[in-house]
Amino acid sequence: MRASIALLASAILASSSLGCGATVEVPRICFTQAGLVVPGSPAGADVTSPTFAVTLTDQIPLLDTSTSDADLRLQEVTVTPVAGSPDLSGIQTATVRVRPASGALVDAASYQRNAAAPAPAAIVLKGDTVNVAPDLVSGVANLSFTLSGQPPRTSWTANVETCLRGETSVSP
């Protein structure tokens, strides 16, 4: 993260001297949502997490969310249980969705369990194909994930790490 801030600072200094904004690369940058309560599924149906916010403007303070040239890719979302001791072995698939200001949810990352592998300690959803920048609401990505198969029957608590990369405009 220090490298991305140093890169942003260099771009901002350069753009300030020119009196304009700049497009900068955003190397992998991660955000953690601690203590997200994931509902249980007593009937074994799909479970959708509460919406959680990833505030990009906290790490990229001069992010220009009004531009259409931003390309921010949700690379990975890792859901790690921290309380409740859930059995994740029944989760067959999972999907992270971005909730835009209006319109349909956008699928941004997914997980498919390998039946031959041991039960996972965390669910790691992979993305990197969807530009989530158009779906930001004032610099915030509003996300949720859905667990399918046989999710844990009781509620549990997770830390959710969301990692993005891409390029975007900044303005002084």
The tokens for 81 are: 């249980």
Burial environment of residue 151 by CB neighbours within 10 A (0 to 12, 13 to 18, 19 or more): buried
C-alpha distances in Å from residue 30, one per residue of 44, 104, 172 = 31, 25, 24
Supply the range of the domain harboring residue 20.
2-170
Residue 96: the pLDDT is 98
CA dist., res. 135 & res. 105, Å (int) = 9
Cα–Cα distances (Å) from 41 to 82, 86, 98, 145, in that order, read 18, 11, 22, 14
Q: What is the pLDDT of residue 153?
A: 95
Q: Note the pLDDT of residue 67.
A: 64
8 A C-beta contact, residue 39 and residue 158: no
Side-chain half-sphere CA neighbours of 72 within 13 A: 30
- Rounded Cα distance between 163 and 150, Å, is 26
pTM over 0.85: no
Per-residue pLDDT tens listing for the chain (172 residues): 444 444 444 444 444 444 566 677 778 889 999 999 999 998 889 999 999 999 887 777 666 666 667 888 999 999 999 999 999 999 999 999 999 989 899 999 999 999 899 999 999 999 999 999 889 888 899 999 999 999 999 999 999 999 999 887 666 6
User: For residue 18, how many other CB atoms are within 10 A of its CB?
Assistant: 10
List, in order, residues 6 or more apart from 133 with CB less than 8 Å away. 65, 70, 71, 72, 166, 168
How many domains is the chain built from? Answer: 1
Task: Please give the Cα distance from 57 to 136 (Å, whole number).
Answer: 11
| CATH number for the domain that contains residue 160 | 2.60.120
Per-residue model confidence (pLDDT) at position 26: 76
Predicted local confidence at residue 170, as pLDDT: 64
Structural tokens at position 34: 């601690």
Instruction: Give me the pLDDT at residue 21, please.
Output: 64
